[in-house]
Chains A and B, each alone.
Chain A
Amino acid sequence: MANILVLGVKVPFTGGGQEVLVGTLQKQLKERGHNVDVVELPLTVFPKESFLNQCAMWRSLDLSAFGGQDVDLVIATKFPSYFAKHHKKSLWLVHQHRTIYDLFGSRFSDFSDDPRDEALRQMLVEGDEKVIRECQYISGISKNVITRLENYLGIQGEVLYPPLPQGDRYKRGNFEDYILSVGRLCTIKRVDMMIKGMPVVHKHVKLKIVGRPDEPKIMEYLQNEIKRHHLEDQVEFLGRVEDDDLIDLYANALAVYYAPHDEDYGYVTLEAFASGKPIITATDSGGVLEFAKHEVNSLVVEPESHALGHAVNRLVKERELAEKLGADGRAFIESSGLHNAGWDKVLDGLLSPLSEKDDTRLRGNGS
């Protein structure tokens, strides 16, 4: 069995899919008898000039051995953890720093046409390519993530979907009068879009929002929207909830709203399906659409508030549709291997450098 370090990136005081992925990966590796620990460095996105230092900090770490034990493998996840150096490095890419790639030039990016920003972008892109190509095994959490890697850096990788964090614990319940939203509260997750859709939704239907803010002033903004549309009785912020409570919330929702902009993967989609619930999502939600299919297991609408509101109303009016979509979602999960069984494929890939003598498997050379 091997000594393995999982390299995680943490934005303190926030939590999301990244933390779930790192935690479940560590757990699964341990269950298979490996000696595993997590190395996390905090990430700050402001000021952006600090990214160079943060990348270099990862690279300056000596991860070769601790307490007399050699580290056999490191598994990097998110930017900038993959800057770490090790003779056996696997990558399970959650995402790169998207503001210099697919989000560049959009309202989600803070890179302007200042030549200093352009110098920074170029350095990070060149750095990314160099260090990712060092990895003996390259994979990503979704087709969306791997496609971005290929499109922007010309590097190919394997798709390894993260299995459901709660494994077989999801359950089906009732279809009560609330829409559940789960995820970090930040602009790109577009919870505000659903809030703004609520004025057209039947008044007895609530929106329950699980998640914590991880962007300055986001709560102020969302609360203002609620006040503006007189939704105080319809929208409820639940903050962070315990796993058991989350499972219950999924189980009894009418549907789950999850429509981020060009999402990397989206555990929420699969958690909803595992709970037998349809997803309400948008045509530009990226990784969500690798699983969510309109009128098969979800409602996929234009990324506009009134479209989302009307989608909710449709499910309120047509409960049998909500049940049918949810059942199809559940059936998809059961046939997909995204319960616990999915971990074998993931770990086979991530651990493959351990069995390679000459580091040839999916070596990061763009081929």
Chain B
Amino acid sequence: MKPLRIAWFSPLPDERSSITSSYVSALLLPEIEKECEITLFTNTFLKHPKLPTYHYLKAFRVHKDTPFDLFFYQLEDKPSHDFIRFHLGLMPGVVWFHDALLSTAGPIPILNSPWSDIVEKYHTPSCDWPSRKKVHTYRGPLAYRELGLAAVPVFSSEVAHGEYRRNIKEKIASASDTASYFVPVPLKDELFEDLPEQKSDSSTLSLAIAGAPFVENRIEKTLRAMEQARGKVARSVKLKWLVPEKARQEAAKLVEKYSELDIECLYGESPSQWEEIIRTCDVALHLSFTVFGHREPFPGISLALGREVVVTDFGVHDYLPENLVMKVRPGESEVGELALLIQKLSERSLSLNENNRAFAFERYQKKVVVHNLLSVFERSSQQVLPAHYDRWGKLLSTAKQNLLTESQSLVQSAYFEHALSPIFDELGWLER
């Protein structure tokens, strides 16, 4: 059987990237390309060292020459994914949602996207094209447009997937009979290799946290908790803080404010940097309290390395079993609960948490994720996509016809017929 030809849309794969799609692509592609023919589409002119790589605006040319079986997108709530948000409206496909809530309306040209009218026309070809002057209201922050246009939505968050199936799918008419999947973000195999029992200096309880000093990242709450726990802890406490480079100045101000605490700032945002830090720490704090942005693979890395993990008791962390992680309620009692946790953790001798490792192994193991994703691709390409692309092709064809009618209406019909139509034909612009 011929391998699937997949158009893979992503920022360039890079295991050291802070962009999840880039990190994930770097992990998965060496395995997936053993089974499928992959062509990369990015928003730069840089090339992958091994895979054919094109700027995303060339996708239609490449597809025309040698059609793809499947267009695959990874979606995140980041400006780096604006091109993906745009292109999945030009050629729908399998969309792996790392974020289903988007904090911006997207690149300006899709602010007035007629996507819901287009989806309606896709289902009912006889209905009219929307007027060019129509104003389309943007609905956010849920990615209605992207969910509505996804031929096959995949979620890397169980919580988001559950929410989609329970409450959202019915609101997106196009999605009523669409299968959806949960596939978590993978982790490197190296994270599951044998680890030394002793993680760090036992005379110090070392905590790790990542993020800019925004309210939702709970950095200052953590520092207040450390301050509150001072004098009550059984050993000294140190915080290693992975700070995005652009937040360096604000972080410095916060560190100065809490100058009596032992805080070490390291700069970056990538999963590989988090891995380097957490290998030297006892406890991972994943306290982010916001509906925007995804957390993985950071919590996964912490679990895989057998660390104690503290999270905010909040919807996005529902998938983490309470017998594995410690949960802190956000709100008034948050600082107090954190302080108490720090105190108790300082009293314990912390060894590798094998239960956490087992959970992570079962959930995030790369070969399992590869297998699941390939299953999604196979099932989609057999059951859903051929009919979908055929129908979408017909839609594009009628779009072209409509455009030609619009163009023709702008000039005298006799002039168009005699002078311009032969040129249109010569240039291959007429639908035949």
Contacts and interface: CB of A to CB of B under 8 A. Distances in A.
B395 interface: yes
A50 B410 contact: yes
A123 B404 CA distance: 11
Interface of A, helix, strand, loop or mixed by DSSP: helix
Contacts, number: 111
B417 to A, nearest CB: 12
Given A50-B410, A60-B423, A104-B57, A115 B107 contact: no
Contacts of B395: 115
Nearest to B423: A56
A351 B419 CA distance: 30
Interface in A267-326: none
Interface in B146-174: none
A105 B45 contact: no
A170 B415 CA distance: 48
B129 to A, nearest CB: 7
A114 B411 contact: no
B410 A53 contact: yes
Interface string B91-130: 0000000000000000111101111001000000000011
| Of A57, A101, A118, A126, most B-chain CB atoms within 10 Å | A118
Contact of B86 (A50, A105, A127, A151): A105
A181 to B, nearest CB: 25
Interface stretch (B267-275, B293-301, B424-432): B424-432
B407 interface: yes
Interface string B45-87: 1000000000101101100000000000000000000110010
Contacts of B109: 104-106, 109-113
A34 interface: no
B90 interface: yes
B400 interface: yes
Q: Kindly name the residue among B61, B83, B420, B427 whose own CB sees the greatest number of chain A CB atoms within 10 A.
A: B427
B399 interface: yes
Given A47-B410, A50-B410, A112 B110 contact: yes
A207 to B, nearest CB: 27
Interface string A43-56: 00001011011011
Given A56-B420, A118-B396, A152-B55, A113 B410 contact: no
B399 A118 contact: yes
B427 A53 contact: no
A24 B403 CA distance: 38
B411 to A, nearest CB: 6
Given A59-B423, A112-B113, A118-B399, A53 B83 contact: no
Nearest to A50: B410
B276 interface: no
A71 B423 CA distance: 21
A130 interface: yes
Contacts of A105: 82-83, 86, 107, 109
Which 5 pairs of residues, A with B, have the shortest CB-CB distance?
A113-B89, A115-B399, A56-B423, A119-B400, A107-B108
Interface of B: 45, 55, 57-58, 60-61, 82-83, 86, 89-90, 107-110, 112-115, 118, 129-130, 132, 395-396, 399-400, 402-404, 406-407, 410-411, 416, 419-420, 423-424, 426-429
5 contacts: A53-B407, A56-B420, A106-B107, A118-B399, A152-B57
